[in-house]
Amino acid sequence: MGRIGPSRAFEKRDFHRRWLTLHFVAWAAILVACFVVNRSFTPEHFWLHWVGLAAGVALAIHGAVFARSTLATMGPGDGGRS
């Protein structure tokens, strides 16, 4: 009898993909909100790049975790050689 639902590996990749997408949307929303605050209250001092740097590092770490967990669920493979 065949499998009825998706594999655990697929579910794990899908879980990480959804969280990475949510993290990216939150990252973009925070940067837009900070841009508005920066331009509205302190236009003479541009500090948004520091927020963007911190958020970018967090997003990169999340992306690395996603890539590592995705590759780990794809099986041994042969590196593209047949």
Distance (Å, whole) CA 24 – CA 20: 6
Q: How many CB atoms lie within 10 A of CB 46?
A: 11
Q: Which residue has the tokens 């236009």?
A: 43
pLDDT at 73: 66
**23 close to 59: Cβ distance less than 8 angstroms:** yes
Taking only the tens place, the pLDDT of each residue in 3-18 is 677 788 778 888 888 8
Stretches in the chain below the pLDDT threshold 70: 1-3, 72-82
* 52-57 own/partner pairs: CB under 8 Å, 24+ apart: 55/27, 55/30, 55/31, 56/27
